[in-house]
Amino acid sequence: MCHSTVDDSAASGIGARLDGHPNRTLDPGLIISLSPHFDDKADLRSQLASWGPGFYDPYWNHDGISAPVLIPPAYGLRDVALETYTGEGPVSYWNAYVAVTQMGGQGTFVSEELGIDIQNDPDLVTPKLPALREYQFTLMPPEADPTSYDGVAALRGELLFTTTAGCVGCHSGTGFTDAPTLHTAAEVGQSPAYAERGTTGMYRATPLRGVSSHPPYFHDGSAGTLDEVVAHYDAQFTLGLSVTDKADLVAYLSSL
């Protein structure tokens, strides 16, 4: 539901399934709020309904804080050490967490850091995790549309990415992320609020393959475009990029 959409090949919202793509039109909070469980809990129902399409809060039912994050892509993870925004663990960790603590699956998930101890016998979730992981590892990022960016500018942007702008320091390797290295909120200029709710208190550098296909950006969707992403880091790291430099970086990101 959250990590699959369609290619609109038949009509808007109708087409071939695209597994691994974030479903940014899905409104999980609104769907959950329609449960009769919330008939006498108006405040909680209002919180859920306020999340909006493409957002979900995976900690809300544990800590009572309503601060949803963007549903991320689930493709291109074979070469990515940590799957979540805050780097709690690999993809199977998150699959287990979601299946047991969010979807009510009959499984086992124990985390002292999060204060969660859910154990079921038989555990119907854990045996399925390896096959699910292998399937997810087959999901590749979408190829960039070559007509959507200036190829010459992208070449200049690649040079900036690996030199002057220093982006490659965090977005390295085939996955364009330095995970399992994690970064403090202050280092990357993000609010620490979401990270503090997890187990690491830090953020993982987002993989960049197919990045142009899933705006907005950052865990909270605070950057609507790649231009805003580049402007954010130009200010955060005092890079002094020119207008042309920023446009070239956006062209390169659009090519990935």
Fill in the amino acid letter for 246.
K
Tokens of 66: 């309503």
Contact, 24 vs 71, CB < 8 A?
Answer: yes
pLDDT of residue 79: 86
pLDDT of residue 163: 97
Contact, 52 vs 45, CB < 8 A?
Answer: no
Question: What average pLDDT does the structure give for the chain?
Answer: 96
Q: Identify each DSSP E strand in the chain by its residue range.
A: 4-6, 17-19, 55-56, 69-70, 109-111, 116-118, 182-183, 203-204
Q: Which domain holds residue 225?
A: 146-255
Question: What CATH number corresponds to the domain at position 150?
Answer: 1.10.760.10
In a domain, 197, yes or no: yes
pLDDT of residue 92: 94
In a domain, 207, yes or no: yes
**pLDDT, tens only, 122-149:** 999 999 999 999 999 999 999 999 999 9
Domain count, the chain: 1
Q: Residue 112 in 3-state DSSP?
A: coil
In a domain, 133, yes or no: no
Three-point CA angle 146, 152, 154, nearest 5°: 65
- pLDDT at residue 15 tops 90: yes
Tokens of 168: 């490659």
**pLDDT, tens only, 155-181:** 999 999 999 999 999 999 998 999 999
- pLDDT at residue 73 tops 90: yes
Q: What are phi and psi of 14, to 5 degrees?
A: -135, 125
In a domain, 249, yes or no: yes
